[in-house]
């Protein structure tokens, strides 16, 4: 029996119960598969319930329980929408995933997370839907306690380093992020409510958002490195967002803020650090490789040809 599909959007948002059911579904799939089926932005949007440009699709079984979920998000500046979906382990191979995919916008680009057998299954599912891989996201990592050393953080003349301050840096950081990721479908679309969502998370730590600023104008941001430790009491840190103003590129600021962030994460006593980087960002992949990062897994995005 095919699932019943329920569509939610800004005008008809998820109910609190539906949002809770989606979160529980994602957690169940994570425990079963060993990786999160929804990326951070998609999880936050499901929890926020009412977000512009976001549509939700719920798949319900005969008893009305949520056994599948899909979300699509509008692209940036004409880019196609991006999407993610998850099916309850007990409801797989019953047409739920196919029904959810069919309910998404035809031009949506669907993310697949995980590696190994899970990645192979996702590729087979995508091929059955007539989708082809169009984008690859590398998860890279390294030890903070061993491995090749990274260079010292030498701040060039004319620049200074400080950390993020609430009530002072929000707009400047958003402007820097938008400029640095102008052509990035997800990161470039970050807005003030998205930033506030992240600041409200348990892992938020202003000391972990490192800013490189003009020495003579400390409110003018040249580059930043937002580090993350989630869960806060865990042993793995993340190179969350590295942003360099397009006007300051070519001055080594990307490597500088990355090193500053690694120094910060190591000072917390963490064991490892991971990051996510688009395969097409050749310069960033080269920088991270030179700093001792190696591939952990690769995520793919699929779309119709």
b/e per residue 26-56 (b: at least 16 CB within 10 A): beebeeebebbbbbbbbbbbbeebebeebbb
CA distance 278 to 261: 19
Binding region = 40, 85-87, 186, 228, 238, 242-244, 249-255, 276, 281-286
CA distance 12 to 14: 7
- The phi-psi region of residue 155 (left if phi > 0; otherwise alpha if psi is between -120 and 50; otherwise beta) is beta
Handedness of CA 11, 77, 106, 136 (dihedral sign): negative
Binding region for acetyl-CoA = 85-87, 242-244, 249-255, 281-286
Handedness of CA 300, 301, 304, 305 (dihedral sign): negative
* Contact yes or no for 26/36 (Cβ under 8 A): yes
Tokens at residue 7, please? 């569509």
Which phi and psi angles does 218 have, rounded to 5°?
-65, -5
The neighbouring-strand residues paired with 70 are: 57, 85
The neighbouring-strand residues paired with 252 are: none
CA distance 176 to 112: 29
Instruction: Check residue 156 and report its DSSP letter.
Output: P
- The phi-psi region of residue 225 (left if phi > 0; otherwise alpha if psi is between -120 and 50; otherwise beta) is beta
Report CA Rg, the chain.
Answer: 20
Helix (H) / strand (E) containing 71: strand 66-73
The neighbouring-strand residues paired with 297 are: 139
């Amino acid at each position: 029996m095919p699932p019943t599909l329920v569509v939610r959007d800004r005008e008809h948002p998820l109910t609190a119960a539906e949002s809770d059911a989606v979160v529980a579904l994602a957690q169940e799939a994570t425990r079963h598969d060993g990786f999160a089926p929804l990326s951070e932005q998609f999880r936050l949007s499901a929890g926020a319930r009412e977000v512009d440009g976001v549509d939700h699709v719920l798949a319900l079984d005969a008893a009305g329980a949520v056994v599948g979920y899909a979300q699509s998000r509008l692209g940036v500046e004409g880019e196609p929408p991006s999407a993610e979906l998850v099916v309850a382990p007990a409801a797989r191979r019953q047409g739920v995933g196919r029904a959810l995919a069919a309910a998404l916008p035809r031009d949506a680009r669907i993310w697949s997370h995980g590696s190994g057998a899970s990645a192979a299954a996702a590729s087979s599912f995508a091929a059955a839907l007539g989708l082809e891989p169009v984008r690859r996201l590398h998860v890279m990592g390294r030890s903070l306690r061993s491995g090749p050393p990274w260079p010292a953080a030498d701040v060039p003349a004319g620049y200074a380093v400080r950390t993020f301050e609430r009530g002072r840096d929000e707009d400047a950081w958003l402007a820097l992020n938008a400029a640095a990721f102008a052509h990035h479908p997800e990161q470039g679309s970050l807005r003030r409510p998205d930033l506030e969502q992240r600041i409200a998370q348990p892992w938020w730590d202003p000391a972990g958002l490192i800013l490189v600023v003009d020495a003579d104008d400390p409110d003018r941001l040249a580059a930043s490195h937002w580090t993350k430790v989630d869960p806060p009491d865990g042993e793995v840190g993340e190179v969350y967002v590295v942003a360099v103003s397009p006007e300051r590129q070519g001055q080594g600021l990307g490597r500088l803020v990355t090193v500053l962030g690694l120094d910060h994460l190591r000072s917390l006593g963490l064991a490892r650090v991971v990051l996510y980087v688009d395969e097409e960002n050749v310069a960033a992949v080269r920088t991270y490789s030179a700093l001792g990062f190696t591939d952990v897994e690769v995520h793919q995005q699929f779309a119709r040809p």
